[in-house]
Amino acid sequence: MQTREDIFNTLRDSLVELFELEPERITLDANLYQDLEIDSIDAVDLIDHIKRKTGKKIAADEFKSVRTVNDVVEAVYRLVHPGA
């Protein structure tokens, strides 16, 4: 997961696998809570899944500000590219 596109593709696959979402619903602009109907428990599962994929932990505080799929992509990008 080096590029934002790699991160998005991995995230889309994860959302499909974890929450049985249709891939076409998952766009960068999709709101996790309104468009994809992910609740707070699902968000914790997603954070855990990202941790397993990257080997790095996302701080819960950082995830609180996440609203869209693009926000998650950017958070993961910053995680795997510190200082970027």
Q: What share of the chain is helix, strand, coil (3-state, %, to 5)?
A: 60, 0, 35
Distance CA 59, CA 26 (A): 23
- Helix runs in 20-68, H state only: 40-54, 60-64
Q: Write the pLDDT tens digit of every residue in 25-47.
A: 999 999 999 999 999 899 889 88
**Stated length of the chain:** 84
Lowest mean pLDDT among 37-41, 47-51, 58-62: 58-62
**Residue 23 structure tokens:** 């891939």
